[in-house]
Amino acid sequence: MSSVGDLIDAYCLRCKLTLSHVVMYESGGTIDKVKCRTCGAEHKYRGPKPEIKSGATRSKKVKTGSASSASTGRQKPTLKEWTQKHEDLKDGANILPYSIRDPFNAGDVIRHPTFGVGFVERVISDTRMDVLFHDALRRMAMNMKTP
Ligand SMILES: [Zn+2]
């Protein structure tokens, strides 16, 4: 089982090759995003090979908007917790811009370009931390000396 900060083989769309990637973060125990060590591109983890199917045998699931209504129907527990923490934030609180190269500590508030404000719940190791974002608790890489 790979985890944040580990190297993993993944298909890079830019390099068009299966190459070594750094796991940037995972969500719910599955790898979410990786960074290509060759070209530096960051993208969703798709597995070691691209999913290219001719579509002949693929059965399309047609849904009439049920997916979107399900996600908005009820609040996720992370959202409630995040909202509370966000309300408790004081004006002028120090929100640190997230960088995979910087070290963070439990209790830090960070701002991620994609996920927005996050609260560092705990530090797992020198290079891993759990961060509470409004939509999910994510395991993020940090303090990485990657190119
Ligand atoms: Zn690449």
Q: Taking Cα atoms as reference points, which of 141, 41, 143, 135 lies closest to residue 16?
A: 41
Domain boundaries, the chain: 1-50, 74-147
Which of these ranges, 24-28, 52-56, 123-127, has the smallest mean pLDDT?
52-56
Task: Using CB atoms within 10 Å of the CB of residue 105, give its burial: 0 to 12 exposed, 13 to 18 middle, 19+ buried.
Answer: exposed
Give residue 91 CA to ligand 1 midpoint distance, Å.
41
For the chain, first and last CA: distance in Å?
Answer: 24
Instruction: Give this prediction's pTM.
Output: 0.56
Question: Above 90 in pLDDT, residue 109?
Answer: yes
Q: What CA–CA distance (Å, rounded) separates 28 from 133?
A: 13
Question: Above 70 in pLDDT, residue 53?
Answer: no
Q: How confident is the model over 56-90, as pLDDT tens digits?
A: 444 555 555 444 444 444 667 889 999 999 999 88
Give residue 37 CA to ligand 1 midpoint distance, Å.
7
Give residue 66 CA to ligand 1 midpoint distance, Å.
36
Give residue 18 CA to ligand 1 midpoint distance, Å.
9
- Higher-confidence position of 47 and 137: 137
Give residue 23 CA to ligand 1 midpoint distance, Å.
13
